[in-house]
Amino acid sequence: MSEAFLKDPLSLFSVKGKTAIVTGATGAFGAIAAKTLAAAGANVVLAASNAENLKKLAAECAGFSGKTEIVAKRPSSEANCDALVKAAVDQFGGVDILVVASGQNKVAKIADQKPEDFLDVMDANVTQSWLMARSASRQMVKQGKGGKIVLMSSARGLLGHPAGYTAYCASKSAVDGITKALGCELGGSGITVNALGPTVFRSPLTEWMFADDERGKTVRAGFLTRVPKGRLGEPSDLAGPLLFLASAASDFYTGHILYADGGYTAG
């Protein structure tokens, strides 16, 4: 085994000069993923449905060493996914990293949830992850240099939840299945496929849990009894795990869900 990496161990985590696609780039995790990769020197295709918010994110990334390209599309169809890959190829010459940060949740008890809402969550979280991985991996195989695919799972893919999360839990369990199956299927092509599995971290949807009002304090206190680290997550807590999964440091790590959850799933 070569130990050439010992001359510069940090080079294992380098993504400088690589090209990444980040879907859901204007969301809480998507934005930190995009900025982290751009700051580390990767060129990033920023994808989401809102063009104005993408322009704002691109402006935030402008001071970093990596370049950005915006594409106002969600990975909601084969054509859209192929268009995102084409944008990366046309602008930067290829695709090395895919981060699927897009998705949604519609909370309702099973007796009250509309079937179409359940299917919307499954489409956004499962089908669109599959479609985007399909388009990106085709390009990666064509390039013949391997690649990194990072999907978005959750602690809810492993654990249930009593508050109307049947759609979300099912969708994240399915993402875990895709991750494991693709990790096996694409391993021989030098493409690693892994997923990040956070628990609650700060976002517009969870900001109420960080609040100091009675509701926030009560729910937070109850939740933190299950979190050994004793606090809720921040988007920045996902930056390190992301760099690991997007870089050569994880070349022998595939088909896994990396739980960045403060120990929540360890208990």
Structural domain spans, the chain? 13-198+235-260, 203-232
Per-residue pLDDT tens digits for 208-265: 999 999 999 999 999 999 999 999 999 899 999 999 999 999 999 999 999 999 999 9
pTM: 0.95
Which residue in 165, 168, 259, 264 is the catalytic one? 168
Residue 1: its pLDDT value, please? 47
Query: Is the distance from CB of 136 to CB of 149 less than 8 angstroms?
Result: yes
Closest CA to 131 of 93, 167, 85: 85
For residues 225-234, one letter each, b for 16 or more C-beta atoms within 10 angstroms of the residue's C-beta and e for the rest, the string is ebbeeeebbe
Active-site residue, 259 included: no
Residue 54: its pLDDT value, please? 97
Structural class in CATH, domain 13-198+235-260: alpha beta
Average pLDDT over residues 41-65: 97
Give the residue carrying structure tokens 């020197």. 41
